[in-house]
């Protein structure tokens, strides 16, 4: 009986070792893809949020005096309309932040108030601005929000113990594992990042800007559980309860979800070992690589381009990635994967 038990243990050990070796030796495909230019001249000093659905590309003109949203055709990149008013009026924003497109409506929240609104793309294209105020809530301490449906939101709040808060009409629920297991005082600064939701897969994806970290949560029965995480930190340095990061490197600049991939704008330090602390607002030194992760959290492909990439966006109906790149001017481009 002992021999049988010992044999089974050996077999299990061999299987585990082979799986571990397979993971360690997983080949990451590298592709050089030059994008298709859809619009070759965006008039802006700084392009903000980029959003995409099956019909439209929407980008935010940060610093615009008015019409902070630009709407383009996804087919040919032609600009179709502008929308969004700046100001202090009931349907105006002082610090707008668009966060999703749902049913041809752009959802926008205000960084410094509880204001939230829905702006109709169809109305804007027809020359009739339609802004509908929604039931917003106080968003102090919120980095990002994403919609699960018309009434449920997830907020990235980066507190000291949890990262997210589920907002529903009935209740608020805190959840989420922090990337660093130790308790840190500078959590609000370190835990900045992006959150995305895949309707078809019922998955919430979180990526961090300042440290290389990706986590995937499964949504079921109005709650989220951690499905997997990819913590790419080489080492963790905590001194006097403050996390000390390497200023020469960043994590994931931006992320988006396609049909099969979590696409992350991320510098490939193996081939582009630039000191991030020296860049400032020199957009020509932005990353030129998009890392593709599967929905388990493993990187499977690296896409490189000759152009610096500023923003990325996609929808989950295909694997195309839309981007704002810089080539003397800011341009809207499409990467066909």
How high is the pLDDT of residue 54? Answer: 96
Q: Which residue has the tokens 């340095």?
A: 237
CA 136 to chain CA centroid, Å, is 22
pLDDT, tens only, 253-269: 999 999 999 999 999 99
Six-digit token string for 267: 């510098």
| Tokens of residue 193, six digits | 């990042």
Parallel/antiparallel/unpaired status of strands 299-304 and 29-32:
parallel
Q: In this predicted structure, what is the pLDDT of residue 5? A: 46
The reported pLDDT for the residue numbered 333 is 98
The pair of three-digit structure tokens given for residue 72, joined into one six-digit string: 């383009």
Q: Taken in order 139, 167, 193, 286, is the CA torsion positive or negative?
A: negative
Alpha helices in 1-154 (DSSP H): 2-24, 121-125
For 252, the token pair is 């994931």
Give pLDDT, residue 112.
82
- pLDDT tens digits, 273-328: 999 999 988 999 999 999 999 999 999 999 999 999 999 999 999 999 999 999 99
Low-confidence ranges of the chain (pLDDT < 50): 1-24
> Which is it for the CA torsion 121, 122, 124, 125, positive or negative?
positive
Please tell me the pTM assigned to this model: 0.90
Candidates 289, 180, 288; CA nearest to 244 is 180
CA distance 127 to 276: 43
According to the model, what pLDDT value does residue 26 have? 63
Please identify which residue in the block is written with the tokens 């492909």: 301
What's residue 17's pLDDT? 43
Q: Which residues does 76 contact at the CB level (< 8 Å), separation at least 6? A: 38
- pLDDT at position 271: 93
């Amino acid at each position: 009986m002992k021999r049988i038990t010992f044999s089974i243990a050996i077999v299990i050990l061999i299987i585990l070792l082979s799986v571990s070796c397979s993971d360690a030796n997983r080949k990451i495909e590298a592709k050089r893809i030059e994008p298709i230019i859809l619009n070759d001249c965006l008039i802006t000093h700084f392009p903000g949020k980029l959003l995409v659905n099956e019909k439209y590309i929407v980008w935010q003109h940060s610093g615009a005096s008015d019409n902070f949203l630009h709407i383009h055709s996804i087919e040919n990149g032609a600009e179709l309309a502008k929308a969004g008013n700046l100001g202090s009026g009931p349907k105006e924003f002082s610090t707008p932040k668009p966060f999703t497109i749902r049913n041809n409506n752009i959802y926008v929240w205000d960084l410094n108030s509880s204001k939230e609104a829905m702006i109709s793309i169809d109305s804007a294209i027809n020359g009739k601005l339609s802004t509908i105020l929604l039931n917003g809530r106080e968003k102090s301490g919120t980095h990002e929000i994403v919609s699960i449906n018309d009434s449920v939101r997830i907020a990235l709040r980066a507190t000291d113990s949890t990262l997210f808060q589920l907002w529903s009409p009935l209740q608020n629920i805190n959840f989420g594992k922090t990337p660093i297991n130790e308790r840190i005082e500078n959590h609000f600064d370190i835990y900045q990042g992006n959150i995305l939701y895949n309707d078809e897969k019922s998955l919430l994806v979180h990526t961090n800007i300042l440290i290389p970290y990706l986590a995937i949560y499964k949504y079921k029965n109005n709650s989220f559980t951690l499905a997997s995480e990819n913590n790419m930190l080489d080492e963790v340095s905590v001194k006097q309860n403050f996390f000390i990061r390497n200023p020469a490197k960043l994590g994931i600049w931006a992320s988006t979800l396609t049909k099969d991939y979590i696409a992350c704008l991320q510098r490939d330090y193996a081939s582009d070992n630039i000191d991030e602390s020296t860049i400032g607002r020199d957009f020509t030194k932005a990353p030129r690589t998009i890392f593709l992760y599967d929905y388990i959290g493993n990187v499977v492909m690296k896409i490189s381009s000759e152009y610096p990439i500023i923003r990325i966006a996609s929808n989950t109906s295909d694997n195309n990635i839309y981007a704002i790149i810089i080539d003397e001017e800011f341009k809207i481009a499409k990467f066909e994967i």
